[in-house]
Amino acid sequence: MQMSPLMPDQGDIPECKLSVRELLLHALVIELEAVERYRQLADMMEHIGNRKVAHIFAKMSDIEARHADIIDEHIRGRRLPVIPPSQFHWRGPEAPENADSGRLFHLMTPQQALSLALDNEKRAFEFFADVVDDSTDETVREMAAEFAAEEEEHIAWVEQWLAEEMAQDGHTQ
- Segments making up each domain of the chain, as ranges: 20-82+104-168
Helix (H) or strand (E) segment spanning residue 62: helix 51-75
Model pTM score: 0.74
Q: Which one-letter amino acid corresponds to residue 30? A: I
The Cα–Cα gap between 99 and 156 comes to 18
What percent of the chain shows pLDDT beyond 70? 73
Asked if residue 118 lies in contact with residue 158, where contact means CB atoms within 8 angstroms, the answer is: yes
Q: Which one-letter amino acid corresponds to residue 19? A: S
**pLDDT, tens only, 65-117:** 998 999 888 888 777 656 655 554 545 555 555 555 555 555 577 888 888 88
**Maximum pairwise Cα distance, the chain:** 52
Highest mean pLDDT: which range of 10-14, 91-95, 160-164: 160-164
What mean pLDDT is predicted for residues 12-16? Answer: 48
The Cα–Cα gap between 74 and 25 comes to 10
Which CATH superfamily groups domain 20-82+104-168?
A: Ferritin, core subunit, four-helix bundle (1.20.1260.10)
